[in-house]
Amino acid sequence: MSGTISVERSDKETVINIKGRFNFEMHSQFRTAYQEDTSKGQKGRKFVIDLSGTEYIDSSALGMLLLLREEAGTNESDIEIINAKPEIRKILETANFQRLFKIS
């Protein structure tokens, strides 16, 4: 059982919506979701990771988020993680992600 990912793109922003379980099996879907934007080398694009429908997250998901941050260009783009459920938010905070991402 794994989740599904949907993407909404506008001029400046890519919103990646993750539903269900955000684990290893999602890696292809997740990478495909942002690769189109990052491979162009376009700077200053904003990524929003919407976790409102995410039920579970494991360390591989944390690894994927870190890779997104690197591939999007750490300083040029800002990445915002929104609507995380309390349990998932706790994991993000334990991982010290509030220092690397905007969590709201």
Partner 1 sequence: MEDEARRIAEEIVSEYRRQLESVRFEKDQVKNLVQDAIGKLTDSFNGLRSSSDEQLGLVTGLTSSMQDDDGGEDGSDKKINIRGFVSETDKILKTFVNHIILVSRQSMEMVHRIDDLSSQMAEIVELLNDINAIAEQTNVLSLNARIVAARAGQAGEAFSVVASEVRKLARNSHEFSDRINGVVRNSKKNIESAKGIVEIMASKDMSFAIEAKGRVDEMMAEVSEIDRFTAETIHKVTGVADQISNQVGVAVMSMQFEDMVTQLSESMEKKIHVLENFSQAMDPDILFGDGLTAVDRMQRLEQVLEGQRAGFNAVDRGAVQQSSMDEGDIELF
Query: For binding to partner 1 (CB under 8 A), which residues are involved?
Result: 23-24, 27-28, 31, 57-60, 62-64, 66-67, 87, 90-91, 94-96
* Nearest distance from C-beta of residue 25 to partner 1, angstroms: 8
Q: Return the closest-CA partner of residue 30 out of 8, 52, 4.
A: 4
Burial string for 13-44 (b: 16+ CB within 10 Å, else e) reads: ebbbbbbbbbbeebeebbeebbeebbeeeeee
* Nearest distance from C-beta of residue 101 to partner 1, angstroms: 13
Nearer to partner 1, 35 or 44 (CB): 35
DSSP structure class, residue 79: E
Question: What letter represents residue 52's amino acid?
Answer: S
Nearer to partner 1, 15 or 95 (CB): 95
* Nearest distance from C-beta of residue 11 to partner 1, angstroms: 27
